[in-house]
Chain A
Amino acid sequence: MKRELIKELARSTAEYGEMSDEELNWLFARLSKKDLKLFINLLFWEIKNKKINVNYAGLMTRDYEEKINASFPNRRAEFKEDPSLIAGVKFEYGDNILDYSVSGMINKILGNIKENL
C-alpha cells in the first residue's frame, strides 16, 4: 500500500480515537508486515502529536491547568505528578520536550560544569 495512504489511515484513526474489530481484521488482511509496522509507527506519533504530557512537581491548580490548555489549543493535556522533577513543569508533545523543571536546570548546569572543567 502507498505510504501516503497509510499515513492518512493513521491520521484518521488517531482523530477518530478507536478502531472496531472489523476494521482491525480488514487492516491485517490488506497490509503487509512492513506496511503494518509503518502504520503502527505513524499512528504512535499521530497520537503523541494529538496530546501533551504535562509532568509537574509541586502545586498545580485549576487555574494553571486552564492556562496550559489554552496555550496548546489543538492538543489534549494529560497531567501527571512527578516528584523527581523537584519543582516546575515538563511538557512533552510530539517529539519535543520543553523542560521548565528544577531537576532539568540542575542537570543542565552539571552538564556545563562537566564539559568545561
Chain B
Amino acid sequence: MKPEEIIQRIEKQLYSADISPELQNFGIVETVGDEIVKASGLSNVGYYEEVAFEDGSSGFALNIDEDSVSIVLLKDSGHIVRGMKVKTTGNILSVKVSDSLIGRVVDAAGDPIDGFDLKHVNPASYPVEKIAPGIIERSSVDRPLKTGIKAIDSMTPIGRGQRELIIGDRGTGKTAIAIDTIINQKKLDMGLKRVICIYCSIGQKKSNLAAITARLKEEGAMDYSVVVAATASDPASMQYIAPLTACAIGEYFMDRGEDVLVVYDDLTKHAWAYRQISLLIKRPAGREAYPGDIFYLHSRLLERASRMSDKRGGGTLTALPVIETQGNDMSAYIPTNVISITDGQIYLEADLFNSGIRPAINVGLSVSRVGGAAQTKSMKQLSGPVRLELSQFRELQSFAQFGSDLDEDTLKRLERGKRITEILKQPQYKPCDEISEVVSIFAVTSGLFDDIAVEQITQAETRLAEFIKKNCADTAKKLSSGAKIDDALKEEMKKNILEFKKINNYGSELTTA
C-alpha cells in the first residue's frame, strides 16, 4: 500500500470514528491452565462472546457459572497470570470473510498461515455459530456435485446442498476422495456454476496438510479453494472452532448465491477436541467420556449445509464430513451419530484397498439418500444396470472358485462383474468428466467390453474416452449436456465404440473364465 493510501485510510477512520464511551464488563483471572482460564466477574458476558485479556490474548466464554466464567483460549500470549483483567468485547465469536480468502490457507481464527499477509477487501463478519436455515428457506437438492469418481457419480451421487459422509479406517483413501472432488470442480462440467471449495483440516499432521495444499496448488484448485487448518499441534480450542469457521466462510459465499463445498477432515478429531475441552471445563462426561451434547455438536454443524430457495439466492452448501473408524467398526458412537445425521455415506474398506480396488468403495454399504435427483439423466439411466450387475457379481463371487463347474450365464455375469470392477478403479488426482464417465459405464454395461481382456480394460477405457472426445464431436456434445440417452444416441455410441475397438484392435480374442 502506498503511503498516501495509508494516510487517506487513517484520515477516513478518524473522521468516522465513534468515540462515545462504552460500558465494558470485565473480570479477573482466577485460574489458568490447559487452554482454559477461569475468571470471576464478567457478570454481563454472553455465551460464545469473545473476551480480550490485558496482554493481548483472546478467547471466548464457553461456560458461564454462578461465580465464574470458563474461557477457552484462542490466542494465548503465554503471559496470562492470576489477577489479570479480562474484558468483554461485545462481539460473538466471528470470523472476517471476503473474497480475499480464496486461494489462502488460514487458521481457525481466520488469520493467514501461508506466510503472506491477508488484506480483506469489503470484509463481512460472520459468526462461527449460526442457526441453520429453516425449512421454508430451503429448496430440494436437484443439481449434481460431480466428484469425477465413477463409482460415486454413478451409484452414490452427491447433490449440491447434500451432506455425504466419507467413512472408513485409516489409510483407505477418505481424504483422496475429498481432494479429487475438489480438483474436479475445476472442470465446470455441463455448464454448472462454479463451486467454491473449502477444505477444513482438523487435527492432521502439518506434513499432510502441506502435501495437500501443494497438490491443490499444482492442480490449479487453489484458484477457487480456501484451506482452513487446525493441525495436531494446535490447541484443542482451535481444532474445535475450525469446522465452524470453515462453515461460516462457506455461508458467506452461499448467501451470495454461490455453490460451496466444505470438506471436514475429520470430524472424529473434532469430537476428540470437543471432549477434551468439555472435560477441562468440568462438564459431565457421558458415553466414552464424550459430553452429552456431542451429537448436537455435529448435527448443528451439518444442518447448516443446505440448498437455499431461489428467493434466498439459490446458493448451496454441500458438506463432505470425514469420519475415521477403528477396525471397520461403523457401529461405534461417533460414526453412528454422524451416519444418522448425513444424507448418505461412502464406506471405504481396507480389504478392498489392499486388494487393489481403489477407490476402495464398498458399493453395498454406501448409499446416497438424494440419489437420482442429483444425477444427470444419462447417468441415472446407467446407474441402475451397473448397480444391478455389481450386486449380482458380489453374490456370485463366492462360486468363482468352482471355475468350469458353473453355467454359461453365471460365468458371463462373473466376467461382466470383473470388467465393471476394473472400470470403477481410478487413479488418484485423475477425476473424470461427464463424457468419460458415461462412455466407460455404457461400454461395460452394454456388453461391448465383454470381449476385451480384464487386464486391458483400464487402458481401453482411457483410450475410448479420448477417442470419443477427439473423433465423435456430436456424441461428445450430447453426452456433455447430461441429456437422456435415447435409442438413437445409444446406437451412435455403440457404433463409435465398435469403431474404436476395430481401430485399436481390442476384443480380437475371446475371453473365458
Binding site for B on A (CB under 8 A): 3, 38, 41-42, 44-45, 94-100, 104-105, 108-109, 112-113, 116-117
Partner of A95, one of B14, B19, B43, B66: B43
Contact B40 A97 (CB under 8 A): no
The CA of A79 and the CA of B6, in the complex, are separated in Å by: 41
Partner of B42, one of A42, A95, A109: A95
Across the interface, B66 reaches (CB within 8 A) one of A3, A96, A108, namely A3
Establish whether residues B25 and A95, one from each chain, have CB atoms under 8 Å apart when the complex forms. Answer: yes
- The residue in chain A whose Cβ has the minimal distance to the Cβ of B45 is A95
Inter-subunit contact A112/B21 (CB<8 Å): no
Q: For B6, what are the chain A residues with a Cβ–Cβ distance below 8 Å?
A: 117
Could you say which interface size class chain B belongs to? 20 to 34
Cβ of B507 within 8 Å of any chain A Cβ, yes or no, is no
Q: Which residues of B contact A113 (CB under 8 A)?
A: 9-10, 13-14
Residue A108 contacts which of B17, B40, B43 (CB distance < 8 angstroms)? Answer: B17
Is B67's CB within 8 Å of the partner chain A? yes
Tell whether B173 is near chain A: CB-to-CB under 8 Å: no
Interface contact B27-A95, CB-CB below 8 Å: yes
Asked if B14 and A96 make an inter-chain contact with CB atoms under 8 angstroms apart, the answer reads no
Say if the beta carbon of B135 comes within 8 Å of chain A. Answer: no
| A99–B22 CA distance with the chains assembled, in angstroms | 7
Q: Do residues A41 and B13 form an inter-chain contact, with CB atoms below 8 A?
A: no
A41 touches B30 (CB 8 A): yes
Docked pose: A117 CA to B9 CA in angstroms: 7
Q: Does B41 contact A (CB under 8 A)?
A: yes
List the interface of chain B (C-beta within 8 A of A): 6, 9-10, 13-14, 17-19, 21-27, 30, 40-44, 66-67, 87
What is the bound-complex CA distance between A18 and B79, given in angstroms? 35
Q: A38-B67, A95-B41 are in contact. Are A104 and B21 (CB under 8 A)?
A: yes
Given the interface contacts A38-B67, A45-B40, does A99 sit within 8 Å of B21 by beta carbon? yes
Across the interface, which residues of B come within 8 angstroms of A117, CB to CB? 6, 9-10, 13
A108 with B67: CB separation less than 8 A: no
Q: State in angstroms the CA–CA spacing of A97 and B18 once bound together.
A: 18
Q: Give the docked Cα–Cα distance between A100 and B24 (Å).
A: 12
- Judge whether B40 and A96 touch: CB under 8 Å: no
List residues of chain A with CB within 8 A of the CB of B23.
Answer: 96-98
Q: Residues of A contacting B42 with CB < 8 Å?
A: 95
Other than A99-B24, A112-B17, give 11 A-B pairs with Cβ distance below 8 A.
A41-B40, A42-B67, A45-B40, A45-B41, A94-B41, A96-B23, A98-B24, A99-B22, A104-B21, A113-B9, A113-B14
Cβ–Cβ contact A41 & B67, under 8 A: yes
Q: How far is the CA of A99 from the CA of B21 in the complex (A)?
A: 6
- Closest CB-CB distance, A6 to chain B, in whole Å? 10
B23 CB to nearest A CB, Å: 5
Can you report 20 A-B residue pairs in the complex whose CB atoms are below 8 A from each other? A95-B27, A95-B42, A95-B43, A95-B44, A96-B23, A96-B44, A97-B23, A97-B24, A98-B24, A99-B22, A100-B21, A105-B19, A108-B17, A108-B18, A108-B22, A109-B17, A113-B10, A116-B9, A116-B13, A117-B13
The reply to whether B30 and A109 form a contact with Cβ atoms under 8 Å apart is no
- Partner of B43 from the list A38, A94, A105, A112 (CB cut-off 8 Å) is A94
Q: Decide: A95 and B21 in contact? CB cutoff 8 A.
A: no
Q: Compute how far the CA of A100 lies from the CA of B25 in the bound complex, rounded to whole angstroms.
A: 15
Quote the shortest CB–CB distance from A89 to chain B (angstroms): 10
A95 to B69, CA, bound (A): 13
B43 → chain A closest CB, angstroms: 5
Contacts of A38 in B (CB 8 A): 67
Q: How far is the CA of A105 from the CA of B40 in the complex (A)?
A: 27
CA distance A112 to B12 in the complex (A): 11
Q: Is A97 in contact with B26, judged by CB distance below 8 angstroms? A: yes
Residues on B with C-beta less than 8 A from A45 are: 40-41
Q: B40 contacts which chain A residues (CB < 8 A)? A: 41, 44-45
Task: Please state if B19 and A96 are interface contacts (CB–CB under 8 Å).
Answer: no
Least CB distance from B1 to A in Å reads: 8
A-B pairs with the 9 shortest C-beta distances?
Answer: A95-B41, A97-B24, A105-B19, A113-B13, A109-B17, A100-B21, A99-B21, A95-B43, A98-B23
A103 shortest CB reach to chain B, Å: 12
Residues of B contacting A116 with CB < 8 Å? 9, 13
Smallest Cβ-Cβ distance to A98: which chain B residue: B23
